[in-house]
Amino acid sequence: MNARVFSQNIENWYLTNKRDLPWRQNPQPYRVWLAEIVFQQTQIAQGLTYYQRLLNAFPTLQSLANAEQDEVLKLWEGLGYYSRARNLHRAAQILNEAGHFPISAAEWLKLPGVGPYTAAAIASVCYGECIACVDGNVMRVIARTHFISDDIRKSSVVKQIQSLVNELVTHADDPGNFNQGLMELGATICKPKSPQCNRCPLQNQCTFYHSDALPGSVPFKSKPQKRKERHLHFFYASQSKDVFLHKRKEDDIWGGLYVLPLMESTDKEWPDNNRGYKLIKKNTHLLTHQKIHYYIWDVVSWSDSPVALDNFSRFIKEDQLPALPRPLKQFLEEQFV
Ligand code: SF4
């Protein structure tokens, strides 16, 4: 495979086929960094509203750094992986204090929430650094063009693909365009189940295309580990339309968000369920690595509550609710109709 031809095909294709995305019109570090954080683990269609909402609320690094964490989390509400929002906010404060953006991937990597992929994306797009970005889309394209059929979850396979892209990017005229092109090709053409090979600029060079392999057979991805199951019992107390909420610590799911005070049990049902509380909702909520069984109990008064409360708990008005996990937001919306 000719690496120079491969890289040029990607760059040329990208320049004429790239999607019109807001940060591409003006690829300043702040906008590109914000986009890279929002779109980690998030599809473009789902994240665009969030990106725009955050940019409108915080048009500059300084405005983001000076915001309250609760404000950032509220704008992030519903997008999941809340550590991204907390790290974005922390990193903004560090950058604002430093007074400038880093210009190399190695420097970006020192910031909270910035991993090798994000650092490489920002440094190549904003500063032209010759460094490879490898995300899930790139993994798929390279696995197919180079016919790598081993399990894509294996670290040896990830290393093999990273090393191939490290080599390919050195043949690019513009590493930022090459990286974005390879990711874009994976996202829009070389899709997981139905690659559109007849529209692909790599068709001539693609080993998968010229093989008899069934569509979808490469890359091979083993099944993920079973989700951990948890049982969370929330206690609902309201006063007129104020609701008692508790801000979560950052060392667990939904860190920094507000929840109804809660207890966790190992059993399917909360063992202490004859205190007179009424079970008003029971459901499950899936996170990437956890299956949450949640139960919402109506309590009469907090003197009756089984949960020890602290300075992070208080009554909050219905129209001033802070960021909440999706199941609780939905529950409270049902209560306040
Ligand atoms: S030719 Fe088909 S399988 Fe190969 S990279 Fe292009 S879209 Fe993917």
Q: In order along the chain (337 residues), what is the average pLDDT of each group of 10 residues?
A: 94 97 92 96 92 97 98 96 96 97 97 97 98 96 96 96 98 97 97 94 96 89 91 88 88 93 80 71 93 89 64 83 95 85
Nearest to residue 235, comparing CAs of 277, 283, 286?
277
Q: Where are the domains of the chain?
A: 3-205, 228-335
Catalytic residue list contains 36: yes
State which fold the 228-335 domain adopts: Nucleoside Triphosphate Pyrophosphohydrolase (3.90.79)
Whole-number pLDDT of residue 114: 97
* CATH numeric code, 3-205: 1.10.340.30
Give CA–CA dist 323/134, Å, rounded: 32
pLDDT at position 241, please?
78
For 139: left if phi > 0, alpha if psi spans -120 to 50, otherwise beta; the answer is: alpha
The rounded Å distance from CA 144 to ligand 1 centre is 7
Tell me the CA–centroid distance for residue 145 and ligand 1, in Å: 7
The per-residue pLDDT for 242 is 86
Radius of gyration of the chain (CA): 24
pTM of the model: 0.88
So what's the pLDDT on residue 282? 93
With the most atoms of ligand 1 within 8 angstroms of its CB, the residue from 190, 204, 205, 214 to mutate is: 190
Strand order in the sheet with 290-298: 262-265, 228-236, 290-298, 278-286
Distance CA 87, CA 139 (A): 26
